[in-house]
Structure 1
Amino acid sequence: MADATRVELEIVTPKGRALMAAVDEVTAPSVNGEFGVLPGHLPVLAALRTGIVTYRVGQDQKRCAIGAGFAEAGPLRMVILTDEYVEREGVDPVVVRKELSEVQASLAKLAAEASPGSQAKEEAKTLVGRENWLAAQLELYGDPPPATMRPLEEWGPPEPMADDDVPAEPPRS
């Protein structure tokens, strides 16, 4: 259990608890940017993007890669819920690079077909998510892939609903 000068960091995946450590500081990748948690942090709930979590115990800094998920932080504890987790020792860069090139080839093929159907969009969203996870693993390993720019509409929020265009009420006389 963490004392008042430490934060108890817990990372949980569907397979169970991946990490439990009393740390001095945690930095996590939220969808709005990186954020840090120190002992005494005000309570916060954040959506996380795929990326690198950095935590410090004394002078020892450690890193791990996580998939998208959620974090709940408070004065003495931070819990990260994610589908993916890996430490540097668990990354095989040859296998990850091979899978990354396969995913990128699938994305290129999907873009060339130019089928705007919802099934194609869902497949592209899944592939982009996988591409991000593989890129995070390579970044953790210290061998990041070249940056990839994808238009927001490939994986971003859906178009506004038609009800958003409701005409204003006519002025009263």
Structure 2
Amino acid sequence: MANTIKFELVTPDRSVVSEDVEYVGAPGVNGEFGVLPNHIPFLSALGVGSLYFKTGGRRSYVFVAGGFAEISPDKVTVLAEVAEKAEEIDVERARKARERAEKRLQQAQDRVEYARARAALVRAMQRVTTRETASQSR
């Protein structure tokens, strides 16, 4: 049994991660899932939240929003709509986005505006959470 699995994380713009890892934990739309080497194959839609992976016993965090993960026994491929490594997240920008989203929620005139504002709020909050979690784990 191999101790690592190939992990690829890409967005439409770039390759974010490409390395051999010991574990991948990701936010699926139906809850978080974890993958070790030799995992049974499956496909999952991604939610919004923190994805993390372990290399050399150390966790690395990435904010993801939307997309899909394909798991095979020797590879995890994540195609994300948005992905930012924790160290790339601008916390001040995310906090301002959160404030704007909260104002939009209060002013929403219909369900569509409300849903968009709510989604923006969740993304902003999860960006901050990802950055803070990564900082605490070091």
TM-score normalised by the chain length of structure 1: 0.72
- Following superposition, the deviation at residue 125 of structure 1 comes to 2.4
- 1:100-111 alignment, distance < 5 Å: 100-110=98-108
The equivalent of 1:74 in structure 2 is 72
Q: Is 1:133 matched with 2:131?
A: no
What amino acid does structure 1 have at the position aligned with 2:128?
A: L
Q: Is 1:42 matched with 2:46?
A: no
Unpaired runs of 5+ in structure 2?
134-138
The equivalent of 1:91 in structure 2 is 89
The equivalent of 2:15 in structure 1 is 17
What amino acid does structure 2 have at the position aligned with 1:27?
A: G
**Higher share in strand:** 2
- Following superposition, the deviation at residue 78 of structure 1 comes to 0.6
- Following superposition, the deviation at residue 122 of structure 1 comes to 2.8
- Following superposition, the deviation at residue 65 of structure 1 comes to 0.7
Is the 2:25–2:34 Cα contact (8 Å) retained in structure 1? yes
- Following superposition, the deviation at residue 93 of structure 1 comes to 1.5
What amino acid does structure 2 have at the position aligned with 1:93?
A: V
What are the Cα deviations for residues 134-170 of structure 1, in whole angstroms up to 9, with x where unaligned?
1111001218xxxxxxxxxxxxxxxxxxxxxxxxxxx
Distance of 1:126 and 1:9 partners within structure 2: 31
- Given the alignment, which residue of 48, 58, 61 partners 1:63? 61
Between the two proteins, what is the percent identity of the paired residues?
28
Unpaired runs of 5+ in structure 1?
114-119, 144-173
What are the Cα deviations for residues 66-123 of structure 1, in whole angstroms up to 9, with x where unaligned?
002211001011111111111122122122111110111001110xx4xxxxxx3333
Is the 2:16–2:85 Cα contact (8 Å) retained in structure 1? no
- Following superposition, the deviation at residue 23 of structure 1 comes to 0.3
Count of residue pairs brought into register by the alignment: 133
The equivalent of 1:142 in structure 2 is 132
What are the Cα deviations for residues 22-70 of structure 1, in whole angstroms up to 9, with x where unaligned?
1010000111111110000010001110000110012111111100221
Distance of 2:14 and 2:113 partners within structure 1: 27
